[in-house]
Structure formats: structure tokens, C-alpha cells
Amino acid sequence: MSGQAPGGQGPRNQGSGGQGPAGQVDVRGPRFAAAVTAVVLAVTVLTGSVWLLLAQAIVFAIGAAAGVQAAPYGVLFRRLVRPRLGPATAWEDPQPPRFAQFVGLLVTGIGLILAAAGVSGAVVIFAGLALVAAVLNAAFGLCLGCELYLLGVRMRARA
């Protein structure tokens, strides 16, 4: 989606970390992305900027559609951050963080739609909700997807 080939890494990266188990990503990548997301959303709450919320929603959309490695913060991590860190020691499946991007897109998307409809305070409120979810995920390891996904499936099956 972003036009980045997986092999497009700087020369300093080669041989430093190598590749983990097939299909897995360096755990520090999604954590870095969650931290950047939290800062962007905190500034959105402070400024009430609809453009900043739109930018973050686009980042969420790319992450949900193309995976966390192709999303802007993932690319930023690989290009600028990881070459300065030691080799990766832990790996994780990229599917759960990708689902979290989808949850983020849902929350920020609702905020944007309400803001476009002229609801005052929608930007600040939904940026705040997304911020709570992002910090819970990044600092406490609480993934709202794990808590709510099953309840959603149960309700849908009953209907």
C-alpha cells in the first residue's frame, strides 16, 4: 500500500538483527508505534485539531489494511529506530496489533464523522477515547480486542 518493499532497509541494518521466526515482527516495533500514537492523540486532545485526528485515522487505516509493518510508524521504526538498537530479542505475531489498528480506526473514524456532521467536541472526545485505548495497550498490555471481540461474536451469534 505504501509502496515499501520489505527489503528496502538501510545497509546498517543488515546482519544486526536478522529475521525472526517466519511471519513474526520485532516486539519493539508495535510498542514504538503505540507510543507515537499515544503522543499524537494526546496532542489532538490538547489542540482539538481535526487534521491531526484525520492523520492518525489514516495511519490506523493503513495499519489495519496493509499490516503494522507497512504502516507509517512501522516504517519509521525500521528506518530510523531499529538500526540504532541492538538485535531483537523477542518476536510476536503481527495479527493482534493489526486488530488494534482496526479498533483505533473505528474510534477515530466515528469521531471524524461526528465532527464532519458538526457535533462540537467530537474531535476531543474521540481522540480521548482512542488515547485511553492506546495507553492501556502500550503501558498495560490490555488489548481491548481480546476483551470485547468474544462478546461481539457471542452477541452476533445470538441475533
Partner 1 sequence: MMESASRDVRFLVGAGIITGLVRLPFLVDVSRALLLVGLLAVTVAIGTYWRSRQGGVREVLDGDVLTAAELGVPLGERATLLQFSSIACAPCRAADRILGEVASRDEGLTHVDLDAAQHLDLVRRLNVLRTPTVFVLDARGRVAHRFSGVPTPAGLATTLADVVRACEPSRS
Binding site for partner 1 (CB under 8 A): 10-12, 42-43, 45-48, 80, 92-93, 95-100, 124, 128, 131-132, 135-136, 139-143, 145-147, 149-151, 153-154, 157
Which residue lies nearer to partner 1 by CB, 117 or 151?
151
Which residue lies nearer to partner 1 by CB, 8 or 10?
10
- From the CB of 110, what's the least distance to partner 1, in Å? 17
- From the CB of 149, what's the least distance to partner 1, in Å? 5
**How wide is the angle at C-alpha 103 spanned by C-alphas 130 and 98, nearest 5°?**
115
Which residue lies nearer to partner 1 by CB, 117 or 157?
157
Which residue lies nearer to partner 1 by CB, 100 or 112?
100
SS3 annotation, the chain: CCCCCCCCCCHHHCCCCCCCCCCCEECHHHHHHHHHHHHHHHHHHHHCCHHHHHHHHHHHHHHHHHCCCCCHHHHHHHHHHHHHCCCCCCEECCHHHHHHHHHHHHHHHHHHHHHHCCCCCHHHHHHHHHHHHHHHHHHHCCCHHHHHHHHHHHHHHHC
- From the CB of 38, what's the least distance to partner 1, in Å? 10
- From the CB of 103, what's the least distance to partner 1, in Å? 9
- From the CB of 11, what's the least distance to partner 1, in Å? 8
Distance between CA atoms of residues 81 and 43, nearest Å = 22
Which residue lies nearer to partner 1 by CB, 87 or 121?
121
